[in-house]
Chains A and B, each alone.
Chain A
């Protein structure tokens, strides 16, 4: 390669990534820096002023009686959603991978909620889960008195989690299915010859072979779970008694309903740190439980 063609490659490379790189600077890096800066400010939107508040917004976080409830709701939602989602996605993928006749129909069925617009799906469930809604009407026909799902202290969070799992589990199912189909049949046959039963094969062959996919889906699902917002806004508005008031919903309320941009920014920084720490943690743990890496 001559000097000039090398130079040309260099320039072409930069030109190709320029739109994306500049956009990244303007819409990710700059606002990320700015939100940290805002979190140390007292922003008054009406007066159009902004003054340095030191760690005031973070101190407020520690004094805020709602904050522990938000932390609790976020943790319950994330753990519940991730465990339920991954377990169900893997179970469905294993069922569909049995290569029974008609499984494509079931695959379409389990995937279909992904196609339904998120808010539409949530509205239907809002409709079905109200006190005199479809779920309770169906329960009544078999003689069971259903609770007021979205207003009950114990049932609201459960409802939100189930609605969200059903909506998106199809995506993870497809990823797991692709991973299962990537396991060489020779390995499965060998383990069968060695006399491994179904459970043993699942533990010792399938799980290790699909562990990179499990890591990927876990990371994506955790990040997605932390961002849940529309569902809360439509289904429960954070109630009852803040039992479903998750971080992003509380953030929206503080920043855009109460117009407290400083405190909102502090909450946004917390959200970013939580996602960062969880992702890095999962990434570091991959050495322990991810069997092979490309």
Chain B
């Protein structure tokens, strides 16, 4: 490629990068500004005297610590549960010859059933069981319901690629089916599991409609719903405090990505999702 073309490519990428980086940059900047400077003109693009107490206010004036914990434990439980049950089902669909195999095509319908479609009946059942305003529907439904179908699909596609000789060797060592799954298949499936972990964590972390429907107490809220509540008694936005709270919610996702990303890219490539 010519030097000119290269420079043009870099220029295009730099210009395109602005709307991707700018909002996050501004979120962090504004979260460190005093209230009277948040909407100042000319705009403040760098906080001269960072107001760290905005972060303290986000935690002291609102039950953010509790809401943070709620989001975190729900996302972790759903992620671990999905990884376990979908790898189990995916394994059976890929490696075991049994009549239930045919159910796989049926289960794929789940990919086309968004949670909005089923939430009214689920809400009524949850309500009848007296489980509204608890975290039960936010944990159990995603692990076993439609959101886990994609995970089962990814796991099955991955398990299909395992060579049969590997399992034969395990069988000669006297491993049972569960042993083969646990000791042979799962260790190789780390990239696929990482992909499932990232997808599931991200999805659960972003849940908005479900907590909005099921939860009523502020202390039970998860972060996405909680983040919309940062208003003063007159309904005015507390922008700097709200953006401080918003900034803190990025941390757990970042951690999950740093831990799993390398394997995630590999997992995407190997799970047949690539063209």
Contact = CB atoms under 8 A, between A and B. Distances in A.
A132 to B, nearest CB: 5
Grouping DSSP codes into helix (H, G, I), strand (E, B) and loop, the B interface class, with mixed when no group exceeds half, is: helix
Nearest to B264: A174
A61 interface: no
A211 interface: yes
B1 A98 contact: yes
A133 B40 CA distance: 9
Given A10-B99, A35-B118, A113 B24 contact: yes
Contacts, number: 269
Contacts of B98: 9-10, 12-14
Contacts of B21: 109, 112
B148 A35 contact: no
Contacts of A119: 206, 208, 223-225, 227-228, 246
Contacts of A128: 23, 26
A271 interface: yes
Interface string A70-103: 0000000000000000000000100100101011
Interface string B110-132: 11111011111110110000000
Interface string A17-48: 10111111011101110110010000000000
A28 B23 CA distance: 37
A268 B275 CA distance: 33
Determine which residue in A26, A27, A178, A275 has the highest number of CB atoms from chain B within 10 A of its CB, and name it: A27
A232 to B, nearest CB: 11
B239 A127 contact: yes
A24 B43 contact: no
Given A9-B97, A115-B250, A255 B120 contact: yes
A20 B85 contact: yes
Interface string A206-236: 0001111110100000010011011001100
Contacts of B254: 115
B234 interface: no
Interface string B76-116: 00000000011011011100111111010001011111101
B145 A23 contact: yes
Nearest to B227: A119
Contacts of A248: 116, 209
A123 B246 contact: yes
Interface residues of B, number: 92
B222 to A, nearest CB: 10
A58 interface: no
A95 B6 CA distance: 10
Given A16-B96, A115-B253, A30 B41 contact: no
Contacts of A162: 19
Contacts of A133: 39
Nearest to B5: A98
Given A17-B89, A24-B107, A182-B275, A38 B177 contact: no
A118 interface: yes
Contacts of B275: 178-179, 182, 209-214, 216
A149 interface: no
A213 B275 CA distance: 5
Tell me which of B9, B89, B213 has the highest count of chain A C-beta atoms within 10 A of its own C-beta: B89
Contacts of A67: none
Q: Select the residue from A28, A141, A226 with max chain B CB neighbours within 10 A.
A: A28
Given A255-B120, A294-B272, 11 more contacts: A16-B89, A20-B144, A27-B122, A27-B145, A38-B121, A95-B13, A102-B10, A125-B23, A137-B39, A137-B43, A248-B209
Interface of B: 1, 6, 9-10, 12-13, 16-17, 19-21, 23-24, 26-27, 30, 39, 41-43, 85-86, 88-89, 91-93, 96-101, 103, 107, 109-114, 116-122, 124-125, 140-141, 143-146, 148-149, 152, 177-178, 181, 202, 205-206, 208-209, 212-213, 223-225, 227-228, 237, 239, 242-243, 246-247, 249-250, 253-254, 257, 265, 268-269, 272-275
Across the A-B interface, the 5 shortest Cβ-Cβ residue pairs: A23-B144, A13-B98, A27-B145, A213-B275, A16-B92
11 contacts: A12-B98, A12-B178, A20-B148, A22-B144, A28-B145, A106-B13, A123-B242, A123-B243, A137-B39, A216-B275, A272-B117
